[in-house]
Amino acid sequence: MSESPTFAAAALPPEDLRALEAFRQSAQMTVMVGADGSVLAVSPAALAELPALEHSSAWTVFGATGADPAQLCVEAGRRGWAGGAMQLQTATGRAWFSLDVRATHDPLGGAPAYVINLSDLSTHRALEARASQSERTLQLVLKVAPVALLISDRQDGRLLFATAAASRLLALPEDAHGDVVARLYAAHADHDAMRSAIGAGDTYGPVDVEGRAFNGAALSLRISAVPCVYEGRLAIVTTLLDIDEVRRSERALQAALEHERDLNQLQRRFVSMLSHEFRVPLAVIDSSAQRMMRKAYDMSADDIRKRGVRIRAAVARLTETVDTLLEDARMAEGSLEFSPRRIDLIPLMRAIIQQQAELQLRPRIEFAHDESLKVDADPFMVEHMFANLLSNAVKYAPDSDCVWVGAGQQGDRAEIVVRDQGVGIPAGELQQICNRFFRASTSAGIPGTGLGLHLVRQLAERHGGELRLDSAAGAGTTATLSLPIHQAPR
């Protein structure tokens, strides 16, 4: 390149001198070139960044990746201006620049010339790359987000993006297109209200609407929407919440809370029952033992026998309580073994009646039965069921003369009936009487665990049978235990 002409200060008018000084001090990268690419003038900033301009044609320096500088100058000659971008070799490496080309004339000779302003695009492109990466990351995050979310074009409603959760909820096909959100609304007025709110720049919802998925399934949805810009276009972000799922969760939570309350109530009943059921027999045993220790030499044989009977009855009560608790625990955890075999109920029931009569002289027990009553049953469980029903009848009818027991076959089932004339069960409590630790209000002052009938019902159902109760307060109780004659193979 020829050396820049030396200008004598006196040869230039003041305005030109000022323009020349401004050019020299400018931080802008500016180059003036002729039509053949010769460099007519170059700013210090451009020369520092592109030192090759000092000895090479502009077309050579600019002949890298990107726009054609010669073609940009031709276009600028036609239109007065042209622009483009190219990658150039700078003093520190390769970088991208934008080119702003404007047509002018060489002030020295008047020949056509072009002023090229260059702007470094490195920072801009880095920001674009970061923005692009951020957008891809955001889309990936949204795609796997557990939220049902749709992004649609604000003008025509066309679907632009859907999360996986939204695709599952709406049964969206792979090629879903068009206004997907509009299809969700059963009522067009609801969709119009949403579009109107978004069009005014407002948020919409949450609003509960009834709609349908793409497979025709009915949906109850809670919809919210906000305006946004997505990939450079005006869009709508719509979030969807399955109200049915929310309601199911609410019902499950409510059931869990009720179960927790029931457990707390059971615990209180259990502690109350246990303290009473253990304290009374232990007090009887302790007082009888102390009496025998203090008066052993003065007590008659009949007195000792009576004390022994009281002690045995108290021990039997404790043993029954412990056995009942253990059996209930094994039943609850499914570890109580069920071993049915062919047994005759009559001898088993007669033995239990005899044991009860020895412990309790009244009321009298009448037993009416078939000559033989054979069933497929677990003898341990049957013994427990009948002993519980019989002891209840005796315990809750202490002032009656008789407890009636019957056993016979009814079709393909064996029925055991125990009837007393005791305190009975109020009608409003019959539905709860077989619940764990529940005791009728008429049983106040009478010892019991509240587990007996609960276990009888559980054991009867284990056999494929049932327990039926007919009772009224003050009118006694009739308990009917029904068991199948034959057990189906398991």
Domains of the chain: 9-120 (3.30.450.20), 127-246 (3.30.450.20), 256-328 (1.10.287), 331-484 (3.30.565.10)
- What pLDDT score does 187 carry? 61
What mean pLDDT do residues 150-165 have?
84
Measured distance between the N- and C-terminal CA atoms of the chain, rounded to whole angstroms = 106
- What pLDDT score does 1 carry? 45
For the segment 69-119, what is each residue's pLDDT rounded down to a tens digit? 888 888 888 888 888 888 888 888 888 888 889 998 888 888 899 998 888
Amino acid in position 173: P
Name the phi and psi angles at 22, rounded to 5: -65, -40
Q: Choose among 166, 160, 171, 161: nearest CA to 146.
A: 166
Q: Is the pLDDT of residue 11 over 80?
A: no
Q: Which has more confidence, 254 or 31?
A: 31
- What pLDDT score does 128 carry? 60
Percentage of the chain lying above the pLDDT 70 cut:
80
Q: How confident is the model at residue 3 (pLDDT cuts 50, 70, 90)?
A: very low
| 22-26, 27-31, 171-175, 349-353: least confident range | 22-26
Q: How confident is the model at residue 200 (pLDDT cuts 50, 70, 90)?
A: confident
| 117-126, 222-231, 468-477: least confident range | 117-126
Q: Is the pLDDT of residue 36 over 80?
A: yes
Q: How confident is the model at residue 480 (pLDDT cuts 50, 70, 90)?
A: very high
- What pLDDT score does 9 carry? 41
For the segment 389-423, what is each residue's pLDDT rounded down to a tens digit? 998 888 888 788 889 999 999 999 999 999 999 89
User: Whole-angstrom Cα distance, residue 214 to residue 183?
Assistant: 8
What mean pLDDT do residues 243-262 have?
76
| 291-295, 397-401, 452-456: least confident range | 291-295
Beta bridge partners of residue 469, listed in sequence order: 479
Average pLDDT, the chain: 80
User: Whole-angstrom Cα distance, residue 55 to residue 38?
Assistant: 10
Name the phi and psi angles at 42, rounded to 5: -145, 135
- What pLDDT score does 123 carry? 65
* β-sheet with 233-242: strand ranges across: 159-162, 148-153, 233-242, 218-230, 204-212
Q: Which has more confidence, 133 or 57?
A: 57
- What pLDDT score does 420 carry? 92
User: Whole-angstrom Cα distance, residue 235 to residue 251?
Assistant: 36
Half-sphere exposure of residue 291, counting CA atoms within 13 Å on the CB side?
16
- What pLDDT score does 192 carry? 75
- What pLDDT score does 482 carry? 94
Q: Which has more confidence, 398 or 367?
A: 367
- What pLDDT score does 12 carry? 60
Q: How confident is the model at residue 358 (pLDDT cuts 50, 70, 90)?
A: confident
- What pLDDT score does 310 carry? 77
- What pLDDT score does 269 carry? 61
